Structure 1
Amino acid sequence: MRYAMGGGLTAEDHDCRERVRREVAHLFERGESNRQVAAGLRVSERSVERWRRVWKAVGWRGPTSRCRLDEEQLLALEAEVDRGPAAHGWVDQRWTSAQVRELIIRMFGVEYSVPGVWLLLCRREAWPRVER
């Protein structure tokens, strides 16, 4: 799984990770040691050390990005991607992230960045290869 990009996580899993992150930030603010945090959360001290370095460098930034499309919308998008670019007015037969971005905007009115579309597509293994 590619946790850094959120791949494979359900909304419930994502919320659970976010609760843990908030708890860790709270414990750091209270001055808890790495050992105490690790024992309380049942994780390795090495992980806590890494989290503390990030927390000191950038603080807690709030939730990581979450997919803005629900499962029904993702299935509808997948069906349209399967139809191919020509069915949507593009002359070539190979999807690009920019084209999929435009399709998402047309279908759902939701805006993603081109790299965000790439990450979204990486999460969905069943989709055809899209050129970055």
Structure 2
Amino acid sequence: MTAEDRARRERVRLEAAEMFAAGVSAPVVAARPQAQGGATLDPQVELERGPAARGWDDQRWTLARIAVVIRELFDVDHTPRGAAYPLHRIGWFPRVPAARAAERDEEAITAWRTEGLTFQSQYAVVASQQVQDAGDRLGSAPGGPGKG
């Protein structure tokens, strides 16, 4: 091991000791990535800057975009699914926003729900009547239930 490697290892050890003293958990300390040249990068800081800071038009982090960022920062290739693993280690999980259409018509939705419930109620009444009729037919048949 060269003197430069020993110095880098000592620097990493001291950074880890500081993180432990600050109350950071062992898995988080172990998972902190090293950028090219040995500098420690915090991926959370990069993610919190947002996709727009890296040139994307909207504010959505996709796994494919995160894989690109990991490649640029750490020179490590990941598939989009593979990019999810380090994210989970630092506590980032997918959140899907409630996407609603811009042309959403609340009145039409309410009417549809009411019609749907009315249809379901009518269906339940018809089905109940059919079951009752079938039971009546069985009960009136010779040797059917209730007929000794």
TM-score (structure 2 length as normaliser): 0.37
- Structure whose CA Rg is larger: 2
TM-score (structure 1 length as normaliser): 0.41
